[in-house]
Chains A and B, each alone.
Chain A
């Protein structure tokens, strides 16, 4: 086919001057001011159809769209131009959990590349990000951490252009709101457990907000939020200011260690944080006034309870409103970076303050503070009136686990938990190896092979799989399976993973009514070779069992690597999980206590020494996936410290010098029992000569100015070390306070009637606890209530209570010389799980001729702790154990290797109740749990 055609070429205007078309039979027609064709030019061309493509190629490199119209139109994108942006991404304010897209429309010579950025950092198709290198950026399930400014760089071989920034903000969710239109509902007196009876309130008429007046005798009241607010959180309320200078009335956001919010005295849990705003010029109780602050009754006040900058302070920022009579709006805004708190009065930022320690917030408190409270205020409080309390929450991450639809927790969620910044990675999951579920290497419990899979019988069991890692790397482990029967409703399938004996975590295997699901977790960096994966399963519902279809080890591919060639995501994750955090370049004390983070201590190694002669140093668990070690220092040369994490995947080296204590400078120092100091007494300019050093108590030494003398202090107490240079008058002394502390063995995870006595925590010693332990100090009265027969503690005794149930790992408490100081001692709190499995909790196993039923109860202690005993007490008349008794105590040897104990009960024929019993767990005689 051949013939003549008239073609019109439609170009985007910006390219028109660069398009070269030499067909002499054609001419340019600029759309010019024709509004219908603005930005277009027409190029009518005549060419033989057979030469059509060749002709077009001659004039333009690429045809994007070909549209034949009448006359024929070629729609082309002109090249040879740097990119430009036609449509900018735009600002968005969306609800939590929304899927968000940013789009850019750009033109320029192809190929165009796109790189989206957040806050100036490149994004990758990772975490909840998709399309990071396309015109449209997708963010799945946005939450607080996704807030920020986004922009895209569009580039081609001729240049690049950056879009304008588009801000993403995520709207808060209302965690709590009460306008008191129904009076006081679910508000409780803060001071004790009695009902809130003396608060007067005015209900709102016709749906109008109510006004709650809190009398001075009532003091404060609290409302428990239904959730722990982890991220940014705001408290807003209206409060009436009478204008009286001695008013003490305010509102608070509080966080307690317990599972829910509580009032101050109605709780067995500790108050971990309180952020306050209002009027307070008289408080001198628990917190007091911030150091250096003088409270001014002309201003409103704020307070932070826990942190580095605590106490009450004036809200006296540059635009802060002064106090005035009337109703005012108060806002506490705990920022996303959680140590920042903003205080607003009537919409004006009255002060921003720093140093608030990060705690989940779970309680709202409002009211006036009275004389009756143990603060014993020096002024008389007055009544306070409140309106419209509201708490807004900004969840830091989107909770994918709440998504019942997919049920799958994506990779980004898990990696984000480790603090990974994975914003420049491009990660693709590729299958590496796969084992059928039936190919278990070992295990325990009763399992049935079924086709290529395996399913469980009984209440629990575990399977071991040998998995082969092809290279040194971090991997993803994926388990595919389901509940065997596919019965509705779906049930939880809780799994616990260990790799080579290292605890990886607890996970839930999702599945649908018709299909398998997968659950995965990430390994630490492991060496190539064979590794043992252990998967523990506990039943969560009667007559349901786990079916394992397959186990897979997967490599995570990444095109991005760091300078050492390690995958970027992996390097970042490892650094987020592991590392040295405190290793000073010099230390007065040897051994120096260094610290860091690492969740896999069994895979960590620490070496120290000099001149490359390094020896192994014991690494001890710290408080919360951390570690510490005491590194002895060389008095003569810097000590080299090499820390290796995750089987050598990450290494850090430090040099630490033992710093000499110059006795001529005087002063004092506090050290741990067993620590050594390096002494000398050298006047300025002295280069030789002898130094005499004596320690109160008798010991004395002679050295020279070039050889500092190490002295170890093995006894607690206060010592004076005196140094004299030669026979001159140059002499000086340093007071050395030596503190010795031992922590007694802790008890395993605790319940409500248990306690842990420390007998020698001298003043100043700081107890640093794994935050997951929920530790609180008990008063002498609390202790006496637990057991009135206990002897009083000695002077330096303290009593604590911890909670560590349902944990499969030990958690630690440390005694520090002072807050953040060197570690004196540590003790482990054993985690355990005590429960009756729903799959086999109680069942009739026999019926006797007289109508008596033999009932078997199944109990699980996981792991079986050798020092724990369990006492059973039957609480129903007519029920006994099968031997006729009503009480029984069992120990570790009574449990099988899976931690299962089975008790048999007799229930008489006329007993209508169940075989109820109380179980109490004791750790070395101290009750740690009751059920």
Chain B
């Protein structure tokens, strides 16, 4: 930076305890772990190379006094919000027209920069804005915070941002004015939380430390492939043979590889739970449902792959004495499209990430993943959630009263009013397992990790909250149980992401795949037309063996 304005800026910074920028080509470096500067101490003036200088400090003042076009272009090339979060960077554009003087408004700007829908931010409690901003910054892995037009915001505003950045993130202040930044920097230097003096760097230091990421636009919408429509509709007892008969050799080879791999995985699972399968087969349903949901069928994004995997799993479970029935008649014309997990839908994930209230997003994500209302959500404590939000462990003690679907509409007699198809379905599903999600570990899809991680960070940041406190509380009050408030919050959130959920209704719904089930069942299996039927041990005793060891037919 040259010129009279820059000279004045450097002189004023020296006079106010701010280290000015030095020549970016100097070879002398300073240690990265230099001692923290004490408030009011004389700033260091030694020459420092750009990259090291940026690495050493946590708050960096980018001297852009001339408001160069290059800096504007650099910021304009900043990646879109989704990629921005993935790259650990967040660019804050302060709200103009004087509103940026308010820390609350800058908190909203930060949330907007984190990908939150600004139209929905007006419903956020003003007192909780910075708590949400910190929680989402932690969950999304933000390491670099860039504040554009920093000269237009006041010291309390920047101080709030610096406190949020803390020692784990770097804060870049784009100072695009001739105005003296020294008062701001002096105020920040007095903050013990910074542990580092505000350091002045050049725009080149910024671009060198944070190079522009290659343009990576969001992938265009791709409708789910329709190749599952050409798969045979045969039951699992003859599915593989029907594929071999009807498909081309090339396509069958690819299909059979998926089929065999899924069957082998099922064999491994059966071997792992061999004791339970042989001694207590009636208790395997919940474990099997969780495994199918989190590992076997749920993660299959392609409906065709999900259907092939399901058929192979059915075939491999039968020798173990487990009948996994798949009745697609209640699933509509696109039955296979309903097999993958709901949280694997990118539009749903992006919609949930645009919400701010962590309680709403985390509860909705769990409800979508489990296909259940929040009737067991008060069993989990904060210690049961992984810090990265990847999974929940099973609680030691439970607080839920009983399956929510056990309560039928007053008057009963539902099963008597069913037509033949529904009656058959109701009877066949009578031995279906009750999916009590909190009894087993839950593994969420990778895109949904920030949703739970943000809520965990938010809850732990609340005063007096420890690992032993409940994961969910009532969104408005602290009274327990939180079901009613969570149910309404989930319904509101689901409407915003255009994904209504039949299982979230107070009364038995006239629509949905659980029609005819008495009592109305809710869960991952039911939403996919699946039911688990352990065979009678008196019939299957002595029949458990590997298919490879069977007699030669």
**Genuine A/B complex:** no
Interface residues of A (CB under 8 A from B): none
